[in-house]
Amino acid sequence: MRLVFDLDFDAKRISGRFVLGANYAGGAGFAHGGIIAVVLDEAMGKISKLTEEKAVTAELNVVYRKPVPVDREIVVEGWQEEEKGRNRFRVGEIRDAEGNLLARGTARFVAIDQEHFGKVRAAQQKV
């Protein structure tokens, strides 16, 4: 997919504008629900770049409000609402060019230290 997001360090938000394309359409010709979840998860995950920490998705909830077009530009935004210990509570939204809310995701991410990531990658390479 190669989604590129702009980072706003002052507002502590990320945003991107995309046209998904017909390859991501579901049966009704709009974006497949799984693709919508991927886009929201990716947006919320990119928030970690604002603090240069690593965090993984632990829980993800998506509310599908309106069909997401695959042939028109969508606006995707994400931000963090709360931090408790290693938990990062984040929000992502998909809107159309007119600003109408199409889908909203909420997620809990868990911050992982760099050393742990290195150990996991080394173990995976041995398999």
Q: Which residues are catalytic?
A: 41
The rounded distance, in Å, linking the Cα atoms of 112 and 54 is: 6
What are the start-end ranges of the E strands in the chain?
A: 6-8, 13-18, 54-64, 74-84, 87-96, 101-112
The rounded distance, in Å, linking the Cα atoms of 108 and 82 is: 10
47: exposed, middle or buried (Cβ count in 10 Å: 0-12, 13-18, 19+): buried
Contact 12, 79 (CB under 8 A): yes
The rounded distance, in Å, linking the Cα atoms of 18 and 25 is: 14
